[in-house]
Amino acid sequence: MLSSLLAHTLAGLTLPGSIELALLTFGWLRARPLLEGPEPGRLRRLTVVVPAHDEGAGIARTLTGLLACPRPEAEVELLVVADNCSDDTAEQARAVGRARPRAGFTVTVLERKDPERRGKGHALDFAFQTALARTDGARPGAFLVIDADTRVSSTLLTAAARAFERGVPALQAPYHSGDPEVSLRARLQHLALLAFNHLRPKSRDHLGLSVGILGNGFGLSAQTLERVPYTATSVVEDLEYHIRLVRSGVRVRFLADALVAADAPPSMAASKTQRSRWEGGRFRMIREHAPGLFLEVLRGRLALLEPLLELLLLPLGFHVALLLLALALPGPAAHGYLWPALALLPLHILCAIRVGKGSAKDLFALLLAPAYVAWKLALLPRMLATARRSSAWKRTERSAEQPPPGVD
């Protein structure tokens, strides 16, 4: 009796996530909606914010890649925020601006020193407020956010500018990991990002939902930032801010015609640190925001239902573990749901490979997914510890020797 009750409880815990997974597995099959918004108009200046903490070794590569992109009709500003740096990030960024002058592009460097308010969210808020406070023609009409270790497709600036001119209030480009050929671990992480950062936002966009913000490769109009200031400072400030956007009625659109790619952590230790921060921060968001979203849905704000389901969808490793544990317990009624829910997971990954234009190597990596799930489960104590801590900017270790893959 007790084991049957436990099986049904575990099944109930996974049900919201399974509903969300079903929506996101098949949503992309709907016709793609037009990329337009409520307030079209000419874009005169696009500011690309590059938040950087001790990125002196790689900031030049990122800025050089952005300067190589075809320029839209709007002027483009690359705004680097050297946040609480102890290296030469600011000097390296300024050197790129001097060495690679280009008509229609400017490189601006802001140095921020505030040991009490550390973190990417604080750096972004500082950049947005500084740029929006300008009173001359340098005030931007829209912003893109690109991490300091990122390569971008050549279409990024023109596609983003076109979307903003069509009135899109917020957007997110597909965001992949760096070179999946570096290691098997990098391949598995690449496979996970195909699902999380490509299939899911594309499905949401095709279903008429807000696609979410992934922290890298997202854009906001000036009007959006004035309406919803970027006062998100948790470890997962992108998820925190997206919840605020949806509550304010702002829909984030999917910029399918561009791509950003960032380096995967080069070592197991770096991967553990990064994943612990991300997933731990997500658990914290569940604790802080899920009850409030649930109450708002009950009051009739149905637009918040999908963000609530998305928040309740646990990382796939934990979702799988709960399903398997429930299956191991007696409870025939629950099993009628558990087996289809479990079968949905490989189908979800296969759709991610299809939508994200993966390769046969990604199909092979799918066979090793159980090992990846076990690795994620082993990180649970660190994730829960992170969920109890506030945000601080911890730069992820990267390999200087890792070759930059093409993203076009």
Three-state SS string across the chain, please?
CHHHHHHHHHHHHHHHHHHHHHHHHHHHHCCCCCCCCCCCCCCCEEEEEEEECCCCCCHHHHHHHHHCCCCCCCEEEEEEEEECCCCCHHHHHHHHHHHCCCCCEEEEEEEECCCCCCCHHHHHHHHHHHHHCCCCCCCCCEEEECCCCEEECCCHHHHHHHHHHCCCCEEECCEEECCCCCCHHHHHHHHHHHHHHHHHHHHHHHCCCCCCCCCCCEEEEHHHHHHCCCCCCCCCHHHHHHHHHHHCCCCEEECCCCCEEECCCCCHHHHHHHHHHHHHHHHHHHHHHHHHHHHHHHCCCHHHHHHHHHHHCCCHHHHHHHHHHHHCCCCHHHHHHHHHHHHHHHHHHHHHHHHCCCCHHHHHHHCCHHHHHHHHHHCHHHHHHHHCCCCCCCCCCCCCCCCCCCCC
pLDDT recorded at residue 269: 60
Alpha carbon 143 to chain centroid, angstroms: 16
Most confident region among 4-8, 96-100, 155-159, 314-318 by mean pLDDT: 155-159
Count other Cβ atoms within 10 Å, centred on residue 369.
18
Residue with tokens 């308010």: 117
- Contact present, 38 and 168 (Cβ < 8 Å): no
Most confident region among 18-27, 187-196, 315-324 by mean pLDDT: 18-27
**Given a cut of 90, is residue 46 above it in pLDDT?**
yes
For the chain, give the mean pLDDT: 86
Grade residue 404 by pLDDT with cuts at 50, 70 and 90.
Answer: very low
What would the pLDDT profile of 339-355 be if each residue is shown by its tens digit?
999 999 999 999 999 99
**Given a cut of 70, is residue 377 above it in pLDDT?**
no
pLDDT recorded at residue 6: 83
CATH code linked to domain 45-271: 3.90.550.10
pLDDT recorded at residue 185: 75
Does 371 or 231 have the greater pLDDT score?
231
pLDDT recorded at residue 280: 67
Question: Lowest mean pLDDT: which of 240-249, 263-272, 354-363?
Answer: 263-272
Grade residue 382 by pLDDT with cuts at 50, 70 and 90.
Answer: low
Q: What is the pTM of this model?
A: 0.86
What would the pLDDT profile of 142-197 be if each residue is shown by its tens digit?
999 999 999 999 999 999 999 999 999 999 999 987 677 777 777 888 888 899 99
Question: Lowest mean pLDDT: which of 47-56, 105-114, 234-243?
Answer: 234-243
pLDDT recorded at residue 379: 65
pLDDT recorded at residue 332: 62
**Given a cut of 80, is residue 246 above it in pLDDT?**
yes
Question: Lowest mean pLDDT: which of 67-76, 113-122, 192-201, 211-220?
Answer: 113-122
Instruction: Count Cβ atoms within 10 A of the Cβ of residue 293 and give its class: 0-12 exposed, 13-18 middle, 19 or more buried.
Output: buried
Residue with tokens 């575990």: 10
CA distance 33 to 206: 6
pLDDT recorded at residue 334: 67
pLDDT recorded at residue 27: 96
pLDDT recorded at residue 78: 98
**Given a cut of 50, is residue 207 above it in pLDDT?**
yes
Does 358 or 95 have the greater pLDDT score?
95
Question: Lowest mean pLDDT: which of 52-66, 89-103, 204-218, 386-400?
Answer: 386-400
pLDDT recorded at residue 208: 94
**Given a cut of 80, is residue 137 above it in pLDDT?**
no
Does 255 or 373 have the greater pLDDT score?
255
* Average pLDDT value for residue range 224-252: 89
Domain boundaries, the chain: 2-30+282-387, 45-271
pLDDT recorded at residue 390: 53
What would the pLDDT profile of 259-273 be if each residue is shown by its tens digit?
999 876 655 565 655
Rounded to a whole number, what is the distance in angstroms from the first to the last CA of the chain? 57
Does 397 or 258 have the greater pLDDT score?
258
- Structure token pair of residue 117: 């308010």
Q: Which residues pair with 5 in a beta bridge?
A: none
Grade residue 132 by pLDDT with cuts at 50, 70 and 90.
Answer: very high
**Given a cut of 70, is residue 242 above it in pLDDT?**
yes
Grade residue 400 by pLDDT with cuts at 50, 70 and 90.
Answer: very low
Rounded to 5 degrees, what are φ and ψ at 253?
Answer: -100, 160
* Average pLDDT value for residue range 215-229: 96
